[in-house]
Amino acid sequence: MSMFLVPALALAACNGDGEAPEVDDEDLPDGGGDTEDDGVDDGDEEADDGSALQMGTGSTGGTYYALGQEMANVINDHTDQQVNAVATDASVENIARVSEQDLELGMTVHIPAIDALEGEGDFQGETMDNFGFMGYIYPETNQIVVAADDDIESIEDLEGMRVNVGPPGSASHAASQLILDAHGIEDYEEYEEGFGDGASMLQDGNVDATFGLLGLPDTGIEELAAQQDVELLTIEDEYLDEIEANSDYERITIEADNYDFMEEDVEGIAAYAVLIGSLDDVDEDTAYEIVEGLYENADDVSHAQADHMTMEDIMLGSEDLPLHPGAEQYFEENDLLDQ
Per DSSP, 185 falls in state -
Cβ–Cβ < 8 Å for 55, 85 = yes
> Is 14 a domain residue?
no
> Is 279 a domain residue?
yes
| pLDDT of 9 strictly over 60 | no
> Is 70 a domain residue?
yes
Alpha helices in 20-90 (DSSP H): 63-78
Range picked from 7-16, 25-34, 114-123, 164-173 for highest mean pLDDT? 114-123
As a whole number of angstroms, the distance between CA 151 and CA 224 comes to: 18
Q: Are residues 132 and 183 in the same domain?
A: no
Q: Which of 26-35, 88-97, 139-148, 301-310 has the lowest mean pLDDT?
A: 26-35
Q: Are residues 162 and 181 in the same domain?
A: yes
Cβ–Cβ < 8 Å for 57, 108 = no
Instruction: Classify the C-alpha dihedral 36-273-125-165 as positive or negative.
Output: negative
| pLDDT of 41 strictly over 60 | no
- Residue range of the domain that includes 239: 140-269
**Percentage above 90 pLDDT, the chain:** 76
pLDDT band at 58 (very low <50, low <70, confident <90, very high): very high
**Final residue in a domain of this structure, among 269, 285, 309:** 269
How far, CA to CA in Å, does 310 sit from each of 7, 65, 183, 288, 295?
34, 20, 36, 16, 7
Q: Are residues 157 and 238 in the same domain?
A: yes
Q: Are residues 62 and 182 in the same domain?
A: no
Q: Are residues 210 and 277 in the same domain?
A: no
Q: What is the CATH number of the domain that holds 57?
A: 3.40.190.10
> Is 38 a domain residue?
no
Q: Are residues 225 and 251 in the same domain?
A: yes
pLDDT in the model for residue 169: 77
Looking at per-residue confidence, does 33 or 249 come out higher? 249
> Is 244 a domain residue?
yes
Q: Are residues 121 and 145 in the same domain?
A: no
Q: Are residues 217 and 302 in the same domain?
A: no
> Is 133 a domain residue?
yes
DSSP per position, 20-35: PPEE-GGGS--S-TT-
> Is 3 a domain residue?
no
Q: Are residues 132 and 279 in the same domain?
A: yes
Q: Are residues 116 and 186 in the same domain?
A: no
Max distance between CA atoms of the chain, in angstroms, equals 57
Domain total of the chain: 2
pLDDT (tens digit per residue) in 135-186 = 999 999 999 999 999 899 999 999 999 999 999 878 899 899 999 999 999 9
Q: Are residues 170 and 259 in the same domain?
A: yes
| pLDDT of 108 strictly over 80 | yes
**Final residue in a domain of this structure, among 212, 243, 269:** 269
Average pLDDT, the chain: 87
Backbone angles phi, psi at 170, to 5 degrees: -100, 160
**Final residue in a domain of this structure, among 222, 250, 269:** 269
> Is 283 a domain residue?
yes
Q: Are residues 190 and 239 in the same domain?
A: yes
pLDDT band at 212 (very low <50, low <70, confident <90, very high): very high
Mean pLDDT over 293-315 rounds to 97
Torsion of CA 163, 166, 172, 175, to 10 degrees: 40
